[in-house]
Amino acid sequence: MPKQVPIVLTGFGNVGRAFLKLAREKHAFVRERYGLDLKIVAAFRSTGGAMLDDDPGAATFAASPELKLETLPTWTPGLRLVDVLDGSLLGVLAETTPSNLKTGEPGLGYMRAALNRGWNIAAASKGALSVNFAGLMEIARRQGLSIKFSGATAASLPTLDVATISLSGAEILGIDGILTGTTNHILGRLEEGLTFDAALREAQILGIAEPDPSMDIDGWDTACKLQLIVNAALGMGLTLGDLAVQGIRDVTPESQRAARAEGKILKLIGRMTRDGDHFRASVAPVAIEASHPLYRVHGTNKGIAFFTDTMGTVVVTGGKSDPRGTAASMLKDIINIYR
Ligand SMILES: NC(=O)c1ccc[n+]([C@@H]2O[C@H](COP(=O)([O-])OP(=O)(O)OC[C@H]3O[C@@H](n4cnc5c(N)ncnc54)[C@H](OP(=O)(O)O)[C@@H]3O)[C@@H](O)[C@H]2O)c1
């Protein structure tokens, strides 16, 4: 008998829609392979929510993700998450609202409400975890629940799973990560001779960069991912303010050429170094040598290298950088919560 896993989705943008579509597509596969019957019971926008499970239009709806939540007969303006999490159901909150790195909202309120009502969490959003990592983990610990956040820590690129499972028993002495595909793509185009403005414009036209690209190009997206990885992997309580952060706005084709002349390449590196009990985390463009494990991470690819005491250097690269890849990382987290 498959285990029923109710899922409530907050945020219905690129990732939320991709998650709904993927969960429906993979439903039979996940039931057969993992014995889990995933059911997305409700989805929320900022203006309200809709129940999906009992809605006769829901199957058609999932196959046509361009449709709006408001077109469903169950759409209820003003419906709140707490109206749905009434204690009679227990499952997973799939959190995909915008990442606000200052307040953590709306994800923070949603995640607290879900944990306090006995729901696990699979998050793609970074804001809540960045602002109140320790607080959320403490509620989860008290309640015996899981918070997973692969979607917030480079998504399809396995970072947390490697750090917290594969490297168990090893000391992580350092981390280098190329954690943002957008900036890696732009730096690659600068190396080919494009100016920063032209490379950014091109990335926006291709849909690789956001209309407001500042989170990525000023280094905050990488910083936030590094913060969460370090906190989860090393049991730290880093805040975003603890990181020295520099983005890529000042990188030019000339600086890439100068690096190349020395056999190096400029990459935006999220770096954690450790000197005994003293930790330092930073984000900056760094000229890395051909022998560096991330030297050949090109285009929108990402990569992470863990430097350990007993396992040597462990490197992971690749992974899809798009909403479907992010949705797939959330699906992985949900499967791993219950398997
Ligand atoms: N795009 C990616 O590939 C990617 C990759 C990794 C992580 N992420 C993270 O995943 C999250 C979602 O990304 P996205 O690209 O899907 O962004 P998005 O397209 O802007 O979707 C977020 C959606 O949340 C809705 N929303 C805003 N306030 C809300 C509230 N109070 N309650 C419920 N819904 C609310 C917004 O629509 P309404 O205001 O109309 O409801 C919006 O459609 C972000 O935190 C992002 O950092 C994204």
| Residue 57 confidence (pLDDT) | 64
Instruction: Give CA–CA dist 235/149, Å, rounded.
Output: 15
- Which residues of 212-292 form beta strands (DSSP E)? 244-245, 264-275, 278-289
Q: Which two tokens stand for residue 334?
A: 């949900």
pTM value is 0.96
> Mean pLDDT of all residues in the chain?
94
Catalytic, out of 21, 126, 148, 225:
225
The position carrying tokens 């046509």 is: 64
> Do 215 and 253 form a contact (C-beta atoms < 8 A)?
no
Instruction: Give CA–CA dist 126/120, Å, rounded.
Output: 16
| 225 belongs to the catalytic site | yes
Element (H, E) at 311: none
Instruction: Give CA–CA dist 113/75, Å, rounded.
Output: 21
Residues with CB under 6 A from ligand 1: 10-16, 44-47, 96-99, 106, 124-126, 151-152, 155, 322-323, 326
Per-position b or e across 111-139, b if 16+ CB within 10 A of its CB: bbbbbebebbbbbbbbbbbbbbbeebbeb
> Do 19 and 2 form a contact (C-beta atoms < 8 A)?
no
Q: In what order do the strands lie in the sheet with 313-317?
A: 244-245, 278-289, 264-275, 172-178, 303-308, 313-317
Distance separating the N- and C-terminal Cα atoms of the chain: 14
| Residue 277 confidence (pLDDT) | 84
Which atom of ligand 1 has the smallest separation from the CA of 49? 33
| Residue 54 confidence (pLDDT) | 65
| Residue 58 confidence (pLDDT) | 66
| Residue 299 confidence (pLDDT) | 94
3-state secondary structure at position 224: helix
Q: Point out the residues of the chain with pLDDT beneath 70.
A: 54-63, 65
**Closest Cα to atom 5, ligand 1: which residue?**
326
- Amino acid residing at 109: G
Categorise residue 61: left if φ over 0, alpha if ψ from -120 to 50, beta otherwise: alpha
Q: Which two tokens stand for residue 271?
A: 């770096």
Which atom of ligand 1 has the smallest separation from the CA of 152? 7
| Residue 70 confidence (pLDDT) | 92
